[in-house]
Structure 1
């Protein structure tokens, strides 16, 4: 598990980018195109990604390959 992983199986954007070895700009590009995993937007504007949503998203990427 990444060091910055939040409680309850949530990842920070930094965790996600580190795990997928992508830049923040790549993530935001994917998000703008509707190709990123589902995210939660917190009241302060920060994003969180549920581990389960990331795992499901990775499975769909595997099927599409």
Structure 2
């Protein structure tokens, strides 16, 4: 599996972005979070490639 296909947990995403899980869930409720994969067991994963694209879309010119 390539790094772009890596599936991250919400905890991993929050740790990487240095945010609290409550912030991520707030963004998700407001449809501002990266696109998520909902697993049959209720778990949620975010593809590494989706997270990277989502971050690039939020970059501002200096």
TM-score, reference length from structure 1: 0.82
Moved over 4 A (4+): none
**Match of residue 14, structure 2, among 10, 13, 17:** 17
* Greater relative contact order structure (CA < 8 Å, 6+ sep): 2
TM-score, reference length from structure 2: 0.86
CA-atom RMSD in angstroms:
1.6
Long gaps (5+) in structure 2: none
Q: How many residues align?
A: 58
